[in-house]
Amino acid sequence: NAGVTQTPKFQVLKTGQSMTLQCAQDMNHNSMYWYRQDPGMGLRLIYYSASEGTTDKGEVPNGYNVSRLNKREFSLRLESAAPSQTSVYFCASRPLGNYNEQFFGPGTRLTVL
Amino acid sequence: GNSVTQMEGPVTLSEEAFLTINCTYTATGYPSLFWYVQYPGEGLQLLLKATKADDKGSNKGFEATYRKETTSFHLEKGSVQVSDSAVYFCALSVMDSNYQLIWGAGTKLIIKP
């Protein structure tokens, strides 16, 4: 049981390049989330997917797109990377149920030059 | 709206000292409350949670009690160790926000030997 996995762990991009961050969970969770974490700002929600086939914007969606490929996988795409997108990105998943917590992946550290 | 306020860090203590990290919240409805911990270079892990008023969450010597009358969920530990050095995040989730986690900004804890 790997939990929540993210690839890659580190990435350096040039301004304007595109890339996709991958996230997968093997816990049969319904909901999945993408966050970014910047120094002194805590976690900010980019997009989430309450269930397979649905996605919704979070607090900071501009410059990102997501795909809920199936129940296991939820990818985050940067179409044209900008230096302001330099951050650590975390994926999380959550099972159904009122009181359940989110489970986090190890993160992807992205630098945009 | 829903929000979480944590005491600002860093908090620096000596080993075996008593720890309190304050967390207060505002929420519509009846939130579940969580403390997550992030060790250096790692993702977030759930430390403890409480789902209704007067519940006490506990784990690894840490405790927090859900106080509805003061809208607080303060984290405490009787005797901290160097290995407790990390960033601690308070968070809440409510049904009317589709159980999204609302995060505090995090409190960095530094324990000196």
Confirm or reject contact between B49 and chain A (CB < 8 A): yes
Could you report the per-residue pLDDT of A96-110, keeping only the tens digit for each? 876 788 999 999 999
As a whole number of angstroms, the distance between CA B112 and CA B104 comes to: 25
Of A56, A99, A106, the CB nearest to B43: A106
pLDDT at res. B39: 93
- Average pLDDT of chain B to the nearest whole number: 93
Could you report the per-residue pLDDT of A14-36, keeping only the tens digit for each? 999 999 999 999 999 999 999 99
| B57 confidence band (pLDDT: 50, 70, 90) | very high
Confirm or reject contact between A50 and chain B (CB < 8 A): yes
Confirm or reject contact between B106 and chain A (CB < 8 A): yes
- Measured in whole angstroms, the distance separating CA A93 from the mean position of its chain's CA atoms is 10
- Average pLDDT of chain A to the nearest whole number: 93
Confirm or reject contact between B5 and chain A (CB < 8 A): no
As a whole number of angstroms, the distance between CA A61 and CA A56 comes to: 9
pLDDT at res. A112: 97
Inter-chain CB proximity A33 and B105 less than 8 Å: no
Distance between terminal CA atoms of chain A?
Answer: 36
- Whole-Å CA distances, A17 to A13, A58, A63, A86: 6, 23, 12, 13
pLDDT at B98 over 80: no
Could you report the per-residue pLDDT of A32-63, keeping only the tens digit for each? 999 999 987 778 999 999 989 899 999 899 99
Could you report the per-residue pLDDT of B10-42, keeping only the tens digit for each? 999 999 999 999 999 999 888 999 999 999 888
pLDDT at res. B108: 95
Inter-chain CB proximity A105 and B100 less than 8 Å: no
pLDDT at res. B4: 94
Beta bridge partners of B44: B38
pLDDT at res. B30: 85
Confirm or reject contact between B45 and chain A (CB < 8 A): yes
For residue B19, the distance in angstroms to the closest alpha carbon of chain A comes to 21
